[in-house]
Structure 1
């Protein structure tokens, strides 16, 4: 499959969540504040990126994250609403590149770029599935 045949620049998706205790840095690292953790913000950015293109992929194909270049700009407390967006900015044969952002109710809290690689699920599972 060639991503250039089905994925177009400008495709986008958005996700929202209310920050739970389980996604705070303090949940993972002792004595740290209970604010939205950077890896959890990146996870939402990756998932929004996948959401933007998933329905256009041929059956049996998925994307996996391959690159992140993210800045976490502001802390967000437990209970705050976070909105994450992803927009396709470039398409190569097997790589799709995204601009990603995250916002809380007050401001932008994260921004950056993310890339996803196009993978045939059967081939992937043959290589990395249970032995």
Structure 2
């Protein structure tokens, strides 16, 4: 890493929900999902929270580095309709070498819709891809 985010660093990221990010679109193969209301899916909210942390970390990474989600614990407490904008605020609350912890809060124009924690680990892509190659080789054996 070029530099590490500091505890207390804050980053905000916004995304407008589309029909493609609703519960029925999450697993269209599942009748249970397709029968649910067309609101922002928890799975996509989790991904949006991760995306916000990825963007917050990006300026701190060296060439060839990235980050991987290693833990998440969030509550999804209010529905969001397609067309609404969700704003995610992430605050760095733990730095332990390449492992970073984030407090995450998501809001739409009306409510707080989710909150919790997300941890990420900074990795060198070449090393990570080497591990993937080993796993692929083990599968084809």
2:63 equivalent among 59, 65, 69: 59
- Provide the TM-score with structure 2 as the length reference: 0.84
Mapped contact 1:11–1:53 kept (Cα < 8 A): no
1:82 aligns with 2:86: yes
1:55-107 Cα offsets, whole Å, 9 max, x none, are 11222221100000000010111111111111100100121000001001011
Greater relative contact order (Cα < 8 A, sep 6+): 1
1:92 is the counterpart of 2:96: yes
Match for residue 113 of structure 2?
109
**Aligned-partner SS, 2:75:** strand
Counterpart of 1:7 in structure 2 is: 5
Structure 2: unaligned runs, 5 residues or longer: 27-32
Instruction: Tell me which residue corresponds to 2:72.
Output: 68
Gaps of 5+ in 1: none
Moved >3 Å (runs of 4+): none
Alignment RMSD: 1.7
